[in-house]
Each structure stands twice: as structure tokens, then as C-alpha cells.
Amino acid sequence: MPSIKPLAYLVEEFDADNKLVWSGLMASEPREMSWFKDLKSKMHNVTITPLIPDTTNIIKVTNVKKYDSSRFVTGL
């Protein structure tokens, strides 16, 4: 089975108590951490999760002429 390329990456930083400090989406995989301004003075706990498309469960909405939230909500 061919590997599927991630569409984006979820980057999350946690503090020493494993509480979420911040999270964000990146279009490309972060290869280095220079964007942390305090990298040398502070410990960082970061997780990088690849976001792989689930092509078997795609929800397609077509012919949208007005906003109807019930067409977008599933599994409630």
C-alpha cells in the first residue's frame, strides 16, 4: 500500500506538567526549531502529528447556495 502524504502537521507544545501551552497547524513538516525565540533558555516539549486525509470518510457538500449547519455536522 503506498504511503499517503500528510496534508498538514499539528504542532503542539506542552509545559512540564503536560498542559497544552499552544498549538497550531503547519502546511509543511517543521524540520528545525529556530522559530522558538527562547529555545536556548527554556525547555520545550513539542509533538508534531502528521494529518493524513481519511479518503474513505470524505463528506462532500455540493450545490451550496445558503449556509445550513446541519449539512456539515455528523455523528451528533
pLDDT computed for residue 30 by the predictor:
85
The predicted-structure confidence for 40-64, as pLDDT tens digits, reads as follows 666 778 899 999 988 888 888 777 7
pLDDT, position 3: 79
Q: For residue 44, give Cα distances in angstroms to 5, 38, 76.
A: 27, 9, 36
Asked if residues 48 and 32 have their Cβ atoms less than 8 Å apart, the reply is: no
pLDDT in tens, 25-40: 999 988 877 666 665 6
pTM, two decimal places: 0.65
Taking the C-alpha atoms of residue 64 and residue 70, their distance in angstroms, rounded to an integer, is 12
Q: How far is Cα 38 from Cα 26, in angstroms, rounded to an integer? A: 20
